[in-house]
Amino acid sequence: MFPELSFRQLSLGVFVLIAALLGATSVHALLTLDRLADHSREAGRHAVALAGQAQRLGERGVAMERSARQYLVLDDPAFRERYAEAWREAQAALAAIAAGVPAARRTAIADWQARGDAVAAVLDSRNRPPALSRRALNQTLDQALSGLPALSQLLEDAVRHEVERRNQALLDELDQRRRLLTSQVIVAVALAAILALGFGAWLSRPLKQIEQAIGRLGGNRYDEVIAVQGPGDLRRLGTQLDWLRVRLAEVEADKARFVRHVSHELKTPLAALVEGVSLLEDEVPGPLSAQQREIAAILRQNTSSLQVQIEDLLRFNEAGFAAQRLRRAMTDPRALLDSVIAAQRLQSQARGVRCEVTGAARPLALDADLMTAALGNLLSNALRFSPHGGTVTFTLSEANGRLMIACRDEGPGVAPHDVERIFEPFYQGQRQPAGARRGNGIGLAIVREYIQAHGGALRLVPSTGGALFQIDLPYDDRP
């Protein structure tokens, strides 16, 4: 999907798409509101005009009645003209009302029209019967004019009901449009959120792959090929990371090969030195003086120390490779600690140190061999610094779905200026036990290597007495 586009181009495209969606919804809402406003203004104008025509019709009816009666009494043509003018205006008002009210009310309009025509016929002097008396004319006029006020009131009520009906229809349309706009806004926001989340998840996936790849490189795991899926620039970055993985693997292999070769080259002359010292101590070349025996003892001590350091160097080199090939199996942490303590019981008894395990925890998937080596190094370090009669305590607990293993001793603890470097390979703290051979500083480094290979962490916890190391391991039930 869009493999040639870059991360920045895709991000910009998604932003423009979401902005276009929300913008289109906003423009549609504005146009709808504008149309509704025009409709409302037009409806208001028609309602005012229709109400004015109804009022004018009532006024013209009164004017028609007055001028008609005055004409019959005074026989003045001016009143006849006033009636005619009022009748024309009434007809215009009737036409406007007829166009604005429902058909059910048009019967009243026709009746109003007929009565107006009847009055006009009565007032037409050319159509008067010669024998018709003034009394008869007044009766005919009263009969024609008698229904006009009621008809005017009926039409005025009809106009009012029609205005109310139109107002209600307008309110109903406004409510319908409001619901429609609300639905459209909700759908637009939901689509924008889905697009944002979908593209965000799709675009963040290669970033997560890169993060995981960098984590594997930092953990010296070079066996997995780095392949990043997604935008073109991130895929190219994944290719460069894979090239870096290959180069680091080659460098690591060269380093391991160099250490093995150097160690082998050192062990060969060292073996000759050890054999020569043994021959001297056995007095094979001849009897030794006291001074010569002292020199031979110094040589034996130093060759033994050199041999131990070479073996430790090889062991630290192998630790990095072993951490990359975990063989997990469900393991009981309490049983594992018991076995580690049992394996070093002679050392603890020789130093007069008591070892104990407290707490409990569920089994979890571990590489038992590597974890045994890690806990063994931790215990060996604690025994080395513990005073005679002291106690080394392992505490098991669980927190937030993780296994916690705490190891506390009663030794001098870690000096403040050693805290930052205590886990560095070959670093030795200044608080060393009196009379003990100085170590090579790789024990805690190996422990951290094995713990990190299990996805856990090893840290030094501040403590008032002795050293307190805590192991944090995630529960992973997959063997």
Query: Which structure tokens are listed for 405?
Result: 């293993």
Q: Which residue has the tokens 């009901």?
A: 161
Is residue 381 over pLDDT 80? Answer: yes
- Please report the pLDDT score of residue 231 as a whole number: 73
Nearest Cα to Cα of residue 56 among 66, 48, 45? 48
- Please report the pLDDT score of residue 126 as a whole number: 43
pLDDT tens-digit profile of 99-139?
777 654 567 777 777 777 777 777 665 445 554 556 666 66
pLDDT tens-digit profile of 419-468?
777 777 766 665 555 544 555 567 788 888 888 888 889 988 888 778 88
- Please report the pLDDT score of residue 318 as a whole number: 63
Is residue 336 over pLDDT 90? Answer: yes
* Contact indicator for 479, 328 with CB cutoff of 8 Å: yes
Helix (H) or strand (E) holding 91: helix 77-100
Q: What is the mean pLDDT of residues 387-393?
A: 90
Nearest Cα to Cα of residue 408 among 349, 329, 354? 354
Q: What is the mean pLDDT of residues 230-239?
A: 76
Nearest Cα to Cα of residue 460 among 429, 430, 422, 411? 422
pLDDT tens-digit profile of 466-476?
888 999 999 86
Phi-psi region of 452 (alpha: psi -120 to 50; beta: other; left: phi over 0): alpha
Per-residue b or e along 80-113, where b marks 16 or more CB atoms closer than 10 Å to that residue's CB: bebbeebbebbbebbebbbebbeeebbebbebbb
Query: Which structure tokens are listed for 339?
Result: 């076995």
281 by DSSP, 3-state: which? helix
Domains of the chain, start order = 7-188 (1.20.120.1730), 233-322 (1.10.287), 329-474 (3.30.565.10)
